[in-house]
Amino acid sequence: MRHFHYKDGEMYAEDVALRDIAAKVGTPVYVYSTATFQRHFTVFANAFKDRTTLIAYSVKANSNLAVLATLAKLGAGADVVSQGELVRALTAGIPASKIVFSGVGKTEPEMRAALEAGIRVFNVESLPELERLSDVALSMGTRAPVAFRVNPDVSAGGHEKISTGKAENKFGIAWSSVQSAYARAAALKGIEIVGVDMHIGSQIDSLAPFEVAIEKVGALISDLRKKGHTITSFDIGGGLGIPYGDNSKTPPPPSEYGALVKKLTADMDVELIFEPGRMIAGNSGVLLSEVVYAKSGEDREFLIIDAAMNDLIRPALYEAYHEIEPVRAPGRNFKTQRYDVVGPICESGDTFTKRRELPQMAAGDLLVLHSTGAYGAAQSSQYNTRPLVPEVLVSGDRFAVVRERPKLEEILRAESIPDWV
């Protein structure tokens, strides 16, 4: 369910015409719907409302402060992977007690900042990280709450670049080393063991890999307790997929996911932690862009739009599919055309789709790329010195620019030419 729809022949985000946003802010621009964020978070939370649960929204999916503040108001925690994301989450009003820290390469300053803030738990991914964390905590006269991210060696995720739970991936503690890792943690003065963590992939479109992994980790939790470790939380990670509007498999709804997880964990006596990102943010945003040129090639038609791979890298990076629609609703008996929709960057990878049948469009027409609320703006760059794409948040009939488009002077100001050049 998303709140981007046609009304009186025009596409709206909630009660705001996208054409108005384009006129005031310019294109390309990401447009987010508050109601959609709220709905997705609530649907997920409701799936677990009879269990003690922390929903730690994965900040990397969409880290805009206004988005984080919107989710904070609903009771969301945060899963952060850097000091920058930690500061964002705290600034947006997410309490430290609801923040979990993930990632394979946490540095000493990051550990220090998270300990100072008093976060809920560090999801530790290696023994060297554990040793360093213990040292940092001891130097601050405290102990670090820790869960090991274990790697249950299951295959999941819609693309090899977003599969994380296989033995070959860089993530987590190898399954055969988990027991010795907990034993080592129990011996370290700066560490307090609190739980177990996993995250097996992203855009997962079936429940089967979750089922396999949760059962495996459930047995592990029993084992660890028998060895005397205190396990109070089980972090199941994120990864639940969303519909992208193509014909690939439709992921299970959060209610089915919730029912399965509750069933599998009913007797585990653990607090559940989740780290959903895409499921909350993906369909809460669109990338709004204008057609610069319609161009005829040798054997195909191109729509060259003013958004590019620096604004949205998912098609180039993961061969991702994004539904494309014109902002002006196609009239009755409209004509269609097969288009390659491309950006202006000098790389063939700057292609959003190939030979997609769309309503005929011309220069000056506005269009949207749907389902770009997650891993869209968050992965954008200034490649080709294209200013970082701005972000707009809509709520009802209001909208606000929540990240401005930088001016060229601002981009250049961060650089300098040494006097010896």
How many Cα atoms within 13 Å fall on the side-chain side of residue 161? 7
Return the range that interacts with ligand PLP (CB under 6 A); candidates 177-185, 270-278, 284-292, 306-314.
Answer: 270-278
Confirm if 334 and 361 have CB atoms less than 8 A apart: no
Q: If you ran DSSP here, which 8-state letter would residue 345 be given?
A: S
Q: Which of 165, 172, 237, 258 binds ligand PLP (CB under 6 A)?
A: 237
Report, in Å, the least distance between residue 235 CB and ligand PLP: 8
Q: Mark the segment that binds ligand PLP (CB under 6 A) among 88-96, 104-112, 235-243, 310-318.
A: 235-243
Is residue 239 a contact residue for ligand PLP (CB under 6 A)? yes
Active-site residue (options: 1, 187, 266, 346): 346
Subset of residues 193 to 232 that bind ligand PLP, contact rule: CB under 6 A: 199, 202
Q: Which stretch binds ligand PLP (CB under 6 A): 137-145, 274-282, 323-331, 376-384?
A: 274-282
- Which residues 335-374 are close enough to bind ligand PLP by CB under 6 A? 374
Q: At 182, list the tokens.
A: 């907990």
**Is the Cβ of residue 12 or residue 210 nearer to ligand PLP in the bound state?**
210
Cβ-count burial 89-114 (b if 16+ within 10 Å, e if not): bbebebebebbbbbbeebeeebbebb
The answer to whether the bond into 28 is cis (omega within 30° of 0) is: yes
Q: Residues 277, 326, 343, 376: which binds ligand PLP (CB under 6 A)?
A: 277
Task: Report whether 395 contacts 34 (CB < 8 A).
Answer: yes
The reply to whether 60 sits near ligand PLP by the rule CB under 6 A is yes
Pick the closer one to ligand PLP by CB: 276 or 359.
276
For tokens 């508050």, the residue is: 34
CA distance to 130, 138, 191, 218, per residue, from 210 (Å): 26, 36, 29, 12
Mask of contacts with ligand PLP, 92-131, x by CB under 6 A? ----------x-----------------------------
Q: Compute how many other C-beta atoms are within 10 angstroms of the C-beta atom of residue 47.
A: 22
Which residues does 101 contact at the CB level (< 8 Å), separation at least 6?
A: 79, 80, 81, 86, 110, 114, 119, 121, 122, 123
Stretch that binds ligand PLP, among 63-71, 277-285, 361-369, 409-417 (CB under 6 A): 277-285
Shortest distance in whole angstroms from residue 232 CB to ligand PLP: 19
Determine whether 346 is an active site residue: yes
276 lines the binding site for ligand PLP (CB under 6 A): yes
Residue 348 CB neighbours (<10 A) = 8
Strand partners, 78: 57, 99
Residues that bind ligand PLP (CB under 6 A): 58, 60-61, 79, 102, 199, 202, 237-239, 275-279, 374
Active site residues: 346
